[in-house]
Amino acid sequence: MYAALAGLVAVICLVLIGVRLGQGDALGVWVATYAVGVALGGWGFVLARIGHTRWAMMVTCIAAALAGLGDSPAFR
């Protein structure tokens, strides 16, 4: 379950990067927050697969928080 959640967060961050770039938004801090979200989501997937579920959940929550931060009106 943790691996699926981490993978979903990583995919959502990738989709959000594509959507915002497709809308013509300028590159900025939001790209970095989404990119770190993708990296942390991927790392959470790896941690979940090797059995470190506590760490996987913590990393996945941070990735989701960064995705929310990158989508905030402050970065538009």
More confident residue, 7 or 23: 7
Tokens coding 54: 């506590």
Mark out the alpha helices in 1-76 (DSSP H runs): 2-22, 29-49, 53-70
Q: Which of 43, 52, 50 is nearest to 6 (CA)?
A: 43
Look at the pTM and tell me if it is higher than 0.85: yes
Is 29:74 a contact under the CB 8 Å cutoff?
Answer: no
pLDDT, tens digit, for every residue of 18-38? 998 898 888 888 888 999 999
Tokens coding 1: 């379950």
Is 60:27 a contact under the CB 8 Å cutoff?
Answer: no
